[in-house]
Amino acid sequence: MQFFLKALSLLIHLSLTLAQILPFTVTGFLDSAQANVGSALNRGGTVTISGFTVTIPDNLLVEFPASMIPFAEFTGGERAGPNEVTINGNIVGGQIIAGQMFISQLSLAFATGVVSKLDTDGKITLASGPVLRINDPRAKYSAGYSSVPFFTADDENPSISSFSGFPMCVPRSASDAQCPQSNRPAGVTSFNVPEALSMVPIQVGDYVEYSGVQFQGVTLVYEMTVNVDIKTSGTQPGFVRIEDTIIGVADTSVDVETARYRFIGLASRSDLPISVYAIDQDPCTGEETDRFITSTNVIPSARNKFRVELPVNSNIGLYTRNYRFKVGDNVVTTSDGIKAGQYVQPVTEWIFPELVTPGATPPPLVFDNIGPLANGFGTAAGDDTVFGQLKPWPGAVAPKPAVATCVKPVTSAAGPQPTPTGTGTDDSGSAPPTASATTSAGPAPSQVKIIAFAGQDQTVLGGVTVNLVATQNVAGVVGTALSYQWSQIAGPTAGITLSSTTSPSISFVPPIVAVGAVAVSREFRVIITHTSGSQSNDTVVVISDRTSADNKVIDNLTWKSSQSGTATALAHTNLVDSSATMRIVFGTGAEQLMTKVSTTNGIASYSFNARSIARYTSAEIRSYIGNTRVPGPVVSSTNVLPG
């Protein structure tokens, strides 16, 4: 009996252990990688790393510095090993299941050097150092190199760039039109680029920072920053270089702490705002749409740096793999096919919640809120294979995908395709990715063009009510089809409370600015959305200081002879801070304190009623903050009515 109870206890303990979902993270060298049997491009498999055997789900894409590769393709391609692998996942029922897989040759591999020689075939020789080649299959930055297709430079977003993000190149000849020497002024390392739609050549003597992989005696570079400061201005587009895109995965549990969302970068110009967008992917087609997250201003300086930190657990919607950074609103395609005015950056670091209560059960890593993992990447590999939700799911219960089953697109040649109704299997033995799309018989409704206007910039006295009014400037658009979203995007937020975030007209009161202190700038953004799906946004800057005037008005003055002269007065102002007062002067008499009656709808109302006031023909009102008089024009009235 005792043996039976012990065995039962052990079985219960084992069952609870296996049922518990625990987080799993590992970084180590890859021992082996094996795809499941079959030919489906989206099939998963297993990897062994640092003694662990990890299940790779169907539909997982392996993440390289500038590319995502299907796991099955990864297992058979040239990986320039050895490979360091980082896997984030969970232990589900005793099985380790990956949610994310990142590949490098050495994750912290990084070096600097001085260019001593450049060859037209693309080789870059560093002084007392290695020979580099830009891993450039499409020959965007150099003569090209294609033997290791996974660790490539990004040829759509300039990963070979100046300090400010301007694309740079290795000349293919002395007169390379794609890499013109005329675009780099001689003898200077900081300059405004002559031609913003052509690259700037790297030169002997340049100091470079780079990351790459070792392959056949050469370092294949996928990222390089040249210590040259290249600026753009006027009608030229802006360029950006992203240092950090950090996602602190939200979790409100008391046993964990979570990290902030952080976006840090540098720009080629400081006069244009930086907007950050999440790039959502259609789970069936992979088509990308931008979703606005936040925006900020570049800090004007030698570096032109920008930094955005959003509060812990901020609601920024589903996380995505890529985020788009736009400089102003002008996106232009360069002669090399690079889109200037924007940069698409994969997340550089995922920070999952960290346990802060010793002895508590570590929470599983949550992948439900990472859109491409929960809903699918769409046709991520360039063919008709749909990469759907990860399967098996690296968690207790798989979330419901946004689309249930994908339907192959209708073509005029093939005719309508039937919608699959059953659960089939591909020849890997696993169910095909499920995501679904709805095909319409007619064209999709077109979006209605709108243009948002947030109003003129304002300079105001700290402590007054500021009114912001958003308008839409395209004629013929019905106002009831519009919705509004206001937010503060720059400047101190302490003490700022918006009266609304969803009305076209909003108000707030900036805090009092101390006497002698510098003015405070804040920027606000309105996004106007039409029911057709179109959006437009605009920003307005409000500067608060201590030298501007309030808007004060005398509403009523009376005098009657009874009680040695009785005077009454009514006045109002938009100076509503609690430290503010109003005083009145009758004729040439002394200042007298008025009584604050109310503060309503952004207006402070005052009254005065007293006897023994000599007959007067004019009166003046004055606003004070504490004991300091507010500057501005004299506000007086001679309209004295009989009492």
CATH 2.60.40.10 residue ranges for the chain: 452-545
d(CA 25, CA 99): 10
CATH for the stretch 15-106+385-408: 2.40.50
Give residue 403's pLDDT.
Answer: 80
Mapped to the 3 state alphabet, what secondary structure does 324-375 carry? EEEECCCCEECCCCCEECEEEEECCEEECCEECCCCCCCCCCCCCCEHHHHH
DSSP-derived letter for residue 519 is: P
Give residue 405's pLDDT.
Answer: 79
pLDDT, tens digit, for every residue of 265-288?
Answer: 999 998 888 999 999 988 888 889
d(CA 110, CA 624): 60
CATH 2.60.40.2440 residue ranges for the chain: 552-642
> What order do you get walking across the sheet with 288-296 strand by strand?
288-296, 274-281, 322-327, 342-346
Give residue 441's pLDDT.
Answer: 35
CATH 2.40.50 residue ranges for the chain: 15-106+385-408
Assigned token pair, 236: 């030229």
pLDDT, tens digit, for every residue of 405-441?
Answer: 786 654 433 333 333 333 333 433 343 433 333 333 3
Under CATH, to which class is 452-545 assigned? mainly beta
d(CA 205, CA 468): 53
pLDDT band at 104 (very low <50, low <70, confident <90, very high): confident
CATH for the stretch 240-363: 2.60.40
> Is the separation of the CB atoms in 241 and 268 below 8 Å?
no
Mean pLDDT over the full length of the chain: 87
Q: For residue 422, what are the contacts with CB-CB under 8 A and spacing of at least 6?
A: none
Give residue 422's pLDDT.
Answer: 35
CATH superfamily, domain at 552-642: Carbohydrate binding type-21 domain (2.60.40.2440)
Q: Which of 16-30, 99-113, 122-136 has the highest mean pLDDT?
A: 122-136
d(CA 338, CA 332): 8
Length of the chain in residues, anyone?
643
C-alpha radius of gyration, the chain, whole number: 32
Residue 9 has pLDDT above 60, yes or no: no
Give residue 390's pLDDT.
Answer: 95
Closest of 380, 427, 431, 366 to residue 405, by C-alpha: 431
> Is the separation of the CB atoms in 277 and 394 below 8 Å?
no
Give residue 358's pLDDT.
Answer: 86
Give residue 408's pLDDT.
Answer: 60
pLDDT band at 3 (very low <50, low <70, confident <90, very high): very low
Amino acid at the residue 489: I
> Is the separation of the CB atoms in 30 and 83 below 8 Å?
yes
Give residue 382's pLDDT.
Answer: 62
Residue 299 has pLDDT above 90, yes or no: no
Pairing outcome for strands 595-600 and 591-593:
unpaired
* Alpha-carbon distances of 171 from 115, 123, 220, 238, 513, rounded to whole Å: 14, 10, 17, 23, 55
Burial of 456 (0-12, 13-18, 19+ CB in 10 A): exposed
- Whole-prediction pTM: 0.64
